């Protein structure tokens, strides 16, 4: 739970922090697209280089960004194991029943691990360098065309902002309740899977009640500040504007997409 980095903001003054949130969201979408378009280690290498440059210009510690990987380490290990033991290839090392360990399976597993690591770390970098309010404004601005069909864009952006804001708060609350239960003799580390799930019931019930109380407090706070529905045109304290930094980032993003597409066309596949 301590490794959940989504929703956490790292407050420093950097080139990446000053970028327009709309461009950063589009950059994330383009980066994810490039990760799945890449079919060779050369393509993933280009994506990894872009990630390192973004971390360097964001001034966020590298280890802090990589900490997000620990939260999905089980998914990475499971996916790698499936491909190592059940991927049929030409150069076979071990074959026993349905289990087949081959050179192609090992290479594909490494390729998949790198793809997942890049996906998680770049996504966490977005929340590290963008406040929830800025993300809300960026999403709302990008989805403005949906207002023409009377889609509640403002509410969707507000829900996303609240969710991102409360993820680290709920994680801290869960850790606090878990420590309190352990001080009363609760055991969360021993026993089978069913026993561990039952042991977490005394944690989930207070957490659910606390979440409802927080939701009520938030609703009261919004009501006391005269929050209204989307029927009235709302003004913003900070208006989103593009600058020369955004132009540089856009050119950089276009270069990444072009490079990955060219590598996909001429560099060959992973196997």
Task: Give the pairing of strands 92-96 and 99-102.
Answer: antiparallel
Residue range(s) defining the domain that contains residue 104: 1-152+239-271
Task: Judge whether 26 lies within some domain.
Answer: yes
Q: State the total domains in the chain.
A: 2
Alpha-carbon gap, residue 236 to 213, rounded angstroms: 29
Are both 131 and 33 inside the same structural domain? yes
> Three-state DSSP class for 101?
strand
Are both 86 and 203 inside the same structural domain? no
Task: Judge whether 128 lies within some domain.
Answer: yes
Phi/psi for 100 (5° steps) reads: -145, 115
Are both 37 and 121 inside the same structural domain? yes
Are both 88 and 63 inside the same structural domain? yes
Are both 192 and 257 inside the same structural domain? no
Are both 10 and 36 inside the same structural domain? yes
Are both 211 and 268 inside the same structural domain? no
Task: Judge whether 73 lies within some domain.
Answer: yes
Phi/psi for 3 (5° steps) reads: -90, 0
Token couple for 179: 């420590």
Are both 34 and 89 inside the same structural domain? yes
Q: Which residues of 227-255 are buried (b: 16+ CB within 10 A; e: fewer)?
A: eeeeeeeeeeeeeeeeeeebeebbeebee
Token couple for 130: 């963008």
Task: Judge whether 25 lies within some domain.
Answer: yes
133: Cβ–Cβ under 8 A, 6 or more apart, which residues? 161
Are both 254 and 187 inside the same structural domain? no
107: Cβ–Cβ under 8 A, 6 or more apart, which residues? 270, 271
Are both 164 and 256 inside the same structural domain? no
Are both 27 and 126 inside the same structural domain? yes
pLDDT by position in tens, the chain (length 271): 555 555 578 888 888 888 888 889 899 999 999 888 888 888 888 889 998 999 999 888 888 888 877 777 888 888 878 777 777 767 767 767 667 777 777 888 888 888 888 888 888 888 888 887 888 888 888 888 887 887 877 788 778 778 777 877 888 888 888 888 888 877 777 777 777 777 788 888 888 888 888 888 888 888 888 776 655 666 666 777 788 888 888 888 888 888 888 887 776 665 5
Task: Judge whether 234 lies within some domain.
Answer: no
Note the pTM of the prediction, 2 decimals: 0.75
Are both 91 and 184 inside the same structural domain? no
């Amino acid at each position: 739970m301590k490794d959940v980095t989504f929703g956490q903001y790292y407050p420093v003054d950097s080139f990446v922090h000053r970028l327009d949130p709309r461009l950063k969201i589009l950059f994330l979408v383009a980066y994810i697209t490039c990760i799945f378009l890449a079919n060779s280690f050369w393509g993933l290498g280009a994506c990894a280089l872009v990630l390192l440059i973004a971390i360097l210009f964001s001034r966020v510690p590298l280890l802090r960004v990589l900490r997000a990987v620990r939260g999905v380490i089980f998914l990475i290990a499971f996916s790698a194991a499936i491909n190592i033991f059940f991927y049929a290839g030409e150069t076979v090392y071990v074959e026993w029943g349905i289990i087949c360990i081959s050179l192609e399976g090992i290479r594909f597993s490494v390729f998949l691990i790198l793809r997942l690591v890049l996906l998680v770390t770049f996504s966490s970098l977005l929340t590290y360098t963008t406040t929830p309010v800025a993300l809300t404004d960026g999403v709302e601005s990008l989805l403005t065309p949906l207002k023409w069909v009377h889609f509640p864009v403002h509410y969707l952006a507000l829900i996303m902002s609240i969710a991102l804001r409360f993820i680290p708060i709920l994680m801290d609350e869960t850790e606090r309740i878990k420590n309190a239960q352990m001080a009363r003799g609760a055991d969360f580390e021993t026993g089978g899977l069913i026993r561990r799930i039952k042991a977490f019931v005394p944690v989930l019930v207070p957490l659910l009640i606390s979440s409802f109380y927080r939701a009520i407090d938030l609703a009261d706070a919004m009501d006391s500040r005269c929050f209204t529905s989307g029927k009235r045109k709302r003004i913003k304290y900070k208006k989103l504007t593009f600058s020369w930094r955004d132009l540089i980032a856009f050119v950089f993003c276009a270069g990444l997409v072009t490079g990955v597409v060219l590598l996909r066309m001429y560099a060959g596949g992973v196997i």
